[in-house]
Amino acid sequence: MDQQIRTVGIIGAGQMGNGIAHVASVAGFNIKLHDVAEERINAALATIDGNMARQVSKGAIADEERRAAMSRITAAPTLEGLGACDLVIEAATESEEVKRKIFTAVCPYLRPDALLASNTSSISITRLAAATDRPERFIGIHFMNPVPLMQLVELIRGIATDDHTFELAKDFVAKLHKTASVSEDFPAFIVNRILLPMINEAVYTLYEGVGSVEAIDTAMKLGANHPMGPLQLADFIGLDTCLSVMQVLHDGLADSKYRPCPLLVKYVEAGWLGRKAGRGFYDYRGEKPVPTR
């Protein structure tokens, strides 16, 4: 059957959801954006418009393209509004319980041939697929943050994902002018399996007093040529997300090398979640970020 993806539903209008909506609408797909709170959808539309305007000012896209792309994004205040979609991507918070609830709720509204995907950065695709009525049409499509700037998308097949679904997902990623990297369905996939233990190790280096926040970040920026230091990156990702990925690795692979650093746990317990909370390894409440230890 000659199935085409034309309309894409996105569940979750946060940073990842609005980034996916942005790149997919610019690539010519029609987008239905859903969130539990309608004001979050409106905030996402404003963010997308602002980010596209920045692309226009840099000459990356023309203003007509921006206007056309914005016109392709419509709000879907209810899950029912995703009924006409060819592909629905879940981009909700990194919690298996939340994701499973979403899949159970949305499946009854979807066409039998519609594809369902998760943007999870660490959770088993096979397990998530089992919470749906279409495991063979379920796949992991993991975008990197910030979506408009990052070139990579990880594609993860669950044990039941069929070839047709995989090919359609691969084709979708290619149309977004992104590069797909195929990962087996193991905890945290490829990028986060390598990246998050590095961040966790940087937190241990801080915790054990080997170096200060500034010393650690400077060392990795200038010594390993990383665009941002690991602690600065952790703040950008969100320390709660970093912790949840480390917990998935620790639980899923049962290896003590993935034990989350107690200092990371303490920061999350304090609500110092990084940039979004105004404080993490850096304090963002002043003119410029200041290390918190």
CA angle 228, 229, 232 (to 5 degrees): 90
End-to-end CA distance of the chain: give it in Å, rounded: 59
Tell me the pLDDT of the chain averaged across its residues: 97
Cα 291 to Cα 277: distance, rounded to the nearest angstrom: 15
**Catalytic one among 118, 124, 142, 183?**
142
Q: Is 142 an active-site residue?
A: yes
| Cβ within 8 Å of residue 55, ≥6 positions away | 61, 66, 148
Q: Is 192 an active-site residue?
A: yes
Q: Is 244 an active-site residue?
A: no
Q: Is 208 an active-site residue?
A: no
> What pLDDT is recorded for position 3?
85
Cα 280 to Cα 292: distance, rounded to the nearest angstrom: 7
**Catalytic one among 18, 25, 119, 121?**
121
Tell me the per-residue pLDDT of 91-108, one tens digit each, with 9 for 90 and over: 999 899 999 999 999 999
Please indicate whether the domains covering 7-183 and 193-291 agree at the CATH topology level: no
Give the single-character DSSP code of 120: -
Intervals of the chain under pLDDT 50: none
Superfamily of domain 7-183, CATH level 4:
NAD(P)-binding Rossmann-like Domain (3.40.50.720)
> What pLDDT is recorded for position 53?
97
pTM above 0.85, yes or no: yes
Q: Are strands 87-90 and 179-183 parallel, antiparallel or unpaired?
A: unpaired
> What pLDDT is recorded for position 1?
52
**Catalytic one among 22, 25, 122, 154?**
154
Q: Domain 193-291 adopts which CATH fold? A: N-(1-d-carboxylethyl)-l-norvaline Dehydrogenase; domain 2 (1.10.1040)
- The b/e string for 144-153 (b: 16+ C-beta within 10 A; e otherwise) is bbebbeeeeb
Computed from CA positions of residues 197, 203, 209, 213, in that sequence, does the dihedral angle turn out positive or negative? positive
Cα 38 to Cα 187: distance, rounded to the nearest angstrom: 33
Q: Where along the chain do its domains lie?
A: 7-183, 193-291
**Catalytic one among 118, 183, 192, 200?**
192
